[in-house]
Amino acid sequence: MTGFSIRILFVILSFAGIAQGNAAERERVSFNEGWRFFKYESADKADSLIYDVRPEIREFDDSINADAKPTEAETVSRHQEVLKPWILPTGNSFIANPSQKATRPPGNPGSEFAFVQSEFDDSNWQNVNLPHDWAISGPFFTSEDPEVGGGMGRLPSPGVAWYRKGFNLAASDAGKQIFLDIDGAMSYSMVWLNGHLVGGWPYGYTSYRLDLTPYVKRDGLNQLAIRLDNPPNSSRWYPGGGIYRNVWLVKTQSVHVAHWGTEVSTSEVTEKRARVNLKVQIDNGSEAEQKAKIISKIYELGDDGKPKQKSVGTFRPSSVQINAGQQANVVSELTLSNPKLWGPKPTQTPHRYVIVTQIEVNGQQTDRVETIFGVRSLQFDADNGVLVNGEKIRLQGVNQHHDLGALGAAFNVRAAERQLQLLQDMGVNAIRLAHNPPAPELLDLTDKMGLLVLNESFDSWFKKKTPLDFHLIFEDWHEQDLRALVRRDRNHPSVIMWYIGNEVGEQYSGDEGAAVASALREIVREEDPLRPVTASMNWAKADFPFTAEMDVISLNYQGEGIRQLPEFEGTDRIRTPPSYPDFHKTHPDKMILSSETASAFSSRGIYLFPVTQEESSPVRDGRGGDSKTHQVSAYELYAVDFGSSADKVFRYMDMYPYVAGQFVWNGWDYLGEPTPYYSSRSSYSGMIDLAGFPKDRFYLYQSQWRPELPMVHMLPHWTWPEREGLITPVHVFTSGDEVELFLNGESLERKPMKKFEYRIRFDDVKYQPGELKAIAYKKGKLWAEDVVVTAGKPQGLSLKADRIEIGNDGNDLAFITVDVTDAERRLVPGATNHVSLSISEGGEIVATDNGDSTDFTPFPSHKRNAFSGKLLVIVKPVKGYTGDMTITANSPGLKTGKAVISVISN
């Protein structure tokens, strides 16, 4: 593909993976339970089975500005044997040039090491189930000179550890090929089976497969041993540690569909018809040539996630001869009549289909796979932005890191679903995955829920941001990682764009950096020629060669301008004027979007005075920040130095309607990167705090992103005994166009929402206890109202679960909000009471949190202080239990609170 027109109509379908079929042909078995885990006390006490040598860390400050210029990599000489040559061949199937594939050296490193031996006694190791994050339980590093700083969340994610699991094969597995699929392991994973080094993968975010067949025992115990090595200073956020995503044992016949071996695309999509193109890659793992027959049918996918009974289309059967040990591709197509289109909510419906593909050899079925997909058209237009099925969709997006708050990096479907549900409630229709491949189940959720996705690969290329980040392996692994990402995710209808990098240092290196970008873009296009490819740019300007390599112009903070206040004049930091017009003029044929905007700060329920009169202000003491308490004012007017308030970003979005939309930094608070206070544990930039409680900014975005929703929201709270008679500004967010404010029944003023303003400010209100009411109007008619009443002293605890009924498969979770309330059961907004939590038999408290970025209580603790009147408890039932679970909250001097959750069979 030599050119790329942004005005082309792009059509993608989705592949959600291979589902389990008839066990006689293919089995995909969860391999998450029954592991043994051991972590060395420190890296210097670990074994010598290293992937490669690393640079020595001389000095590194992890609190440097997030937009600091990346630096050159260091050259390292090798003085000991490393396992890299034996690991590199794992990625061979993702290398296009045969001459560049790695050759496995002779020998079997590590075979004599005790941990890989079947006879090794691991009975004193910890019992764990996967997904598992070894660091999330803490303890936090709280010293002035911590082993792990605020950038990586002050949790013990670095280190070397081992996982072991034994398994037996059934008699029915005779002759089958056996594979191990690892969805994510952080990081530098290396796998032994029965003492043989099978392979591994360095990048902790990549999903990969290992062929266990040559090393597996058909009779007797098979012993797996997996070594992980998570370096210090390897990330700018909390990476987690351990095998933190799902692991699967896959059993197939010799002739089977290859790993991620179905590729679906469409053309000529209308409401009346769509041409569906299917490519199936088939592996012949036998020692003889085989003739395979391929039969594929399309079905609608039911609400239960299963194919409906009646097929809606059948591909013409085809046959292919496959040499021993080789692959073959079969391409077919059909016209689907009256297709139900996949589209983003709320204006469209995320309909999905499934292709059922069967492989037959000599009249016997040898494989069956299900490929879930959706039919939809995409258009990227320089003037109109993104069109899905012909409808212009303004991107109302957020950035999301991969951690799940108090659960850490260990992926859980319900926890991820809860995050997405709250974001959709705010009005989000798009997610950017910052800055790495996601868990595959996350894309299953975005497909099902109707969210658009920007799928991202790397945070760094050759140049480094932290001493031991991805730059160490970029040269050896970028092709394999990038192709693995695209092959795994290319058929998800929610994925609309590929991101090959985020604020990479190659932006600064002229033609040299542009050449790297070009090479990466071509790798992606070879795997998927349909979606655009881009990288987020916080430095590259409109006329840079780096920018010219992008299919879509993706800007971080540049649209609104970076550090334009007079106080930044003369500094060496990035300073950029508002840039949308320049990029639009220079690249009139390319769509522009903002992949990161705002990076505004706040601590939920914390209001600091005085309140700035500016539309957007950097955080300083006396200007929204408090360096003693390490909290940021929730008046939602304060941002990181290179960022802007939400109000300022909205104004620029409205000034330049050709911009396709924005992705706010960020949706939820996340572990690590606690700008501006790196002595804390987690970020301040989310619209939702780490526990999942909306901040005031949530309602500011909701007022703009859900204009049809009657809503009005006031801030601050109205319990200020120390401020009686003092000016306490009241700000109102609403989807209406006018607001009247009442204090104790007296109207203070009625104000309209002015053009390019996104809040109504009542800055002269003097605090009096009682009732504060805001009534919003739209086109002169009553629209919505909000009431805040001064709370009394804490009297009790009130519990509310997100769901009153959950499943008993051992993975389902319930999230319970605990409020400190007064005698009238009103939230006491400043309450910090110490709360103890317990659960009845059959249940387990998994974690607690309160959303306070400064709270270093370990997440598994059953005791925690409330923060701004609230805390969260996460619970799950014991696997297989049915009945009720009762969660109880106690605090000295307060009335006990309880919640009951019913547990049912999945």
Other C-beta atoms within 10 Å of 564: how many? 14
Label residue 861 exposed, middle or buried (CB < 10 Å: 0-12, 13-18, 19+): middle
Structure tokens at 743: 């204090």
Please indicate whether residue 503 is annotated as part of the active site.
yes
- Distance of alpha carbon 784 from alpha carbon 518, whole angstroms: 52
- Distance of alpha carbon 447 from alpha carbon 466, whole angstroms: 34
Handedness of CA 486, 488, 490, 494 (dihedral sign): negative
CA angle 877, 881, 882 (to 5 degrees): 105
- Distance of alpha carbon 353 from alpha carbon 541, whole angstroms: 42
Query: 């790297």: which residue's tokens?
Result: 516
Structure tokens at 302: 């039911």
Strand order from edge to edge, sheet including 781-789: 746-752, 738-743, 771-778, 781-789
Structure tokens at 78: 């090798």
- Distance of alpha carbon 248 from alpha carbon 665, whole angstroms: 34
Do 842 and 880 meet the contact criterion of CB atoms below 8 Å apart? no
Catalytic residue among 263, 479, 503, 560: 503
Chain-centroid distance of CA 272 in Å reads 35
Secondary structure of 783-802 as H, E, C letters: EEEEEEECCCCCCEEEEEEC
- Distance of alpha carbon 838 from alpha carbon 899, whole angstroms: 11
Please indicate whether residue 596 is annotated as part of the active site.
yes
DSSP string, 265-288: EEES--SSEEEEEEEEEEEE-SSS
Query: 């970028």: which residue's tokens?
Result: 478
H or E element in which residue 456 lies: strand 452-456
- Distance of alpha carbon 430 from alpha carbon 451, whole angstroms: 5
- Distance of alpha carbon 558 from alpha carbon 153, whole angstroms: 28
Do 795 and 823 meet the contact criterion of CB atoms below 8 Å apart? yes
DSSP string, 177-232: EEEEEES--BS-EEEEETTEEEEEES-TT--EEEE-GGG--SSS-EEEEEEEEE-T
Write the Ramachandran bin of 589: left for phi over 0, alpha for psi from -120 to 50, otherwise beta.
alpha
Catalytic residue among 479, 596, 636, 738: 596
Query: 């972590």: which residue's tokens?
Result: 39
DSSP string, 431-452: EEE-SS---HHHHHHHHHHT-E
| CA-to-CA separations, 59 to 55, 233, 458, 501, in angstroms, rounded | 12, 10, 24, 26
Label residue 77 exposed, middle or buried (CB < 10 Å: 0-12, 13-18, 19+): exposed
Phi and psi (nearest 5°) for 715? -145, 150
H or E element in which residue 714 lies: strand 712-715
Structure tokens at 60: 């590194």
- Distance of alpha carbon 490 from alpha carbon 756, whole angstroms: 39
Cross-strand partners of 889: 837, 897
CA angle 174, 179, 180 (to 5 degrees): 135
How does DSSP classify residue 722? G
- Distance of alpha carbon 535 from alpha carbon 550, whole angstroms: 7
Amino acid symbol at 776: A
Do 638 and 731 meet the contact criterion of CB atoms below 8 Å apart? no
Other C-beta atoms within 10 Å of 103: how many? 8
- Distance of alpha carbon 223 from alpha carbon 35, whole angstroms: 11
Active-site residue list = 503, 596
